[in-house]
Amino acid sequence: MKKTLVTVLIILITAYMPVLNLFSASLEDLNKELEAVAAKVLPSVVSTIGESESSEPTRGLFGLPVPRQQKSAMGSGVIIDKRGYIVTNYHVIRNSPVIKIVLFDTKEYLCDVVGTDPPTDIAVLKIKGSVPAELPVIEVADSDKLAPGQIAIAVGNSFGLSHTVTMGIVSAINRNNLGLSDYENLIQTDAAINPGNSGGALVNIKGELIGINTAIYSRSGGSDGLGFAIPSNQVRAITEELIRSGKIVRGFLGVQVQQLTDEVAERLKVPKKSGVLVSGVIKGSPAAKAGLRQDDIIDKINGTAVATVSELRKQVAGLKPGITVTFILIRDGKSLSIKVTLTEMPMPELSGKKSVFPNQGMRVVSIDEDSSYKFGITEKYGAVVVDVQKDSPASRAGIIAGDLVQEVEGIPVRNSYEFEQVLAGRSNHSSIGLLVLRANVRRKIVVILDR
* pLDDT one-digit tens code per residue, 143-188: 999 999 999 999 998 888 888 999 999 999 988 766 566 677 899 9
Give the mean pLDDT of 88-117.
Answer: 89
Do the domains at 143-245 and 358-448 have one common CATH topology?
Answer: no
Give the mean pLDDT of 251-255.
Answer: 86
The model's pLDDT over 198-222, given as tens digits with 9 standing for 90+, comes to 899 999 999 999 999 988 766 555 5
- Which one of the listed residues 44, 52, 76, 91 is annotated catalytic? 91
Give the pLDDT confidence score for residue 418 in this predicted structure: 74
**Domain ranges within the chain, ordered by starting residue:** 43-55+68-127, 143-245, 251-344, 358-448
Q: Is the pLDDT of residue 244 over 80?
A: yes
DSSP classification of residue 284? T
Measured CA to CA, the distance from residue 248 to residue 259 in angstroms comes to 27
The model's pLDDT over 268-318, given as tens digits with 9 standing for 90+, comes to 777 666 788 887 787 788 999 999 988 889 989 998 888 888 788 888 888
Q: Using pLDDT thresholds of 50, 70 and 90, give the confidence band for residue 62.
A: very low
Give the mean pLDDT of 407-422.
Answer: 76
More confident residue, 218 or 396: 396
Give the pLDDT confidence score for residue 182 in this predicted structure: 66
Q: Is the pLDDT of residue 264 over 50?
A: yes
CB atoms within 10 A of CB 68: 13
More confident residue, 8 or 35: 35
Residues 308 and 274: beta-carbon distance below 8 Å: no
Beta-carbon-side half-sphere exposure of residue 32 (alpha carbons within 13 Å) = 6
Query: Which CATH number applies to 43-55+68-127?
Result: 2.40.10.10
Q: Is the pLDDT of residue 106 over 50?
A: yes
Query: Could you tell me the CATH superfamily of domain 143-245?
Result: Trypsin-like serine proteases (2.40.10.10)
Rounded (5°) CA angle 386-350-381: 55
Q: Is the pLDDT of residue 358 over 80?
A: no
Give the pLDDT confidence score for residue 6 in this predicted structure: 60
Percent of the chain with pLDDT over 70: 79
Give the mean pLDDT of 88-113.
Answer: 89
Q: Using pLDDT thresholds of 50, 70 and 90, give the confidence band for residue 74.
A: confident
**Conformational region of residue 310, where left means phi above 0, alpha means psi within -120 to 50, and beta covers everything else:** alpha
More confident residue, 450 or 27: 27
Q: Is the pLDDT of residue 336 over 60?
A: yes
Mean pLDDT of the chain: 80
More confident residue, 262 or 133: 133
When mean pLDDT is compared across 135-139, 176-180, 413-417, the lowest value belongs to 176-180
Give the pLDDT confidence score for residue 291 in this predicted structure: 92
Model-level pTM?
Answer: 0.68
Give the pLDDT confidence score for residue 31 in this predicted structure: 85
Give the mean pLDDT of 224-233.
Answer: 87
Q: Which fold has domain 358-448?
A: Pdz3 Domain (2.30.42)
Give the mean pLDDT of 48-71.
Answer: 53
Give the pLDDT confidence score for residue 29 in this predicted structure: 79
Give the pLDDT confidence score for residue 146 in this predicted structure: 93
Give the pLDDT confidence score for residue 166 in this predicted structure: 92
Give the pLDDT confidence score for residue 425 in this predicted structure: 56
- Which one of the listed residues 121, 190, 368, 370 is annotated catalytic? 121
Q: Using pLDDT thresholds of 50, 70 and 90, give the confidence band for residue 88.
A: very high
Query: Could you tell me the CATH superfamily of domain 251-344?
Result: PDZ domain (2.30.42.10)
Give the pLDDT confidence score for residue 218 in this predicted structure: 60
- Residue 121 annotated as catalytic: yes
Q: Using pLDDT thresholds of 50, 70 and 90, give the confidence band for residue 349.
A: very low
- Residue 91 annotated as catalytic: yes
Q: Is 443 helix (H, G, I), strand (E, B) or coil?
A: strand
Q: Is the pLDDT of residue 248 over 60?
A: yes
Measured CA to CA, the distance from residue 285 to residue 414 in angstroms comes to 15
Residues 360 and 415: beta-carbon distance below 8 Å: no
Q: Is the pLDDT of residue 129 over 70?
A: yes
Give the mean pLDDT of 106-122.
Answer: 90
Q: Is 108 helix (H, G, I), strand (E, B) or coil?
A: strand
Highest mean pLDDT among 65-69, 399-403, 406-410: 399-403
CB atoms within 10 A of CB 264: 16
Give the pLDDT confidence score for residue 292 in this predicted structure: 92
Residues 6+ away with beta carbon under 8 Å from 249: 241, 320, 321, 344, 345
- Which one of the listed residues 143, 198, 355, 416 is annotated catalytic? 198
In 150-281, DSSP assigns E strands to 151-158, 161-175, 186-189, 201-203, 209-216, 227-231, 251-252, 255-259, 276-281
Q: Pick the closest to residue 224 from 193, 203, 184 (CA basis).
A: 193
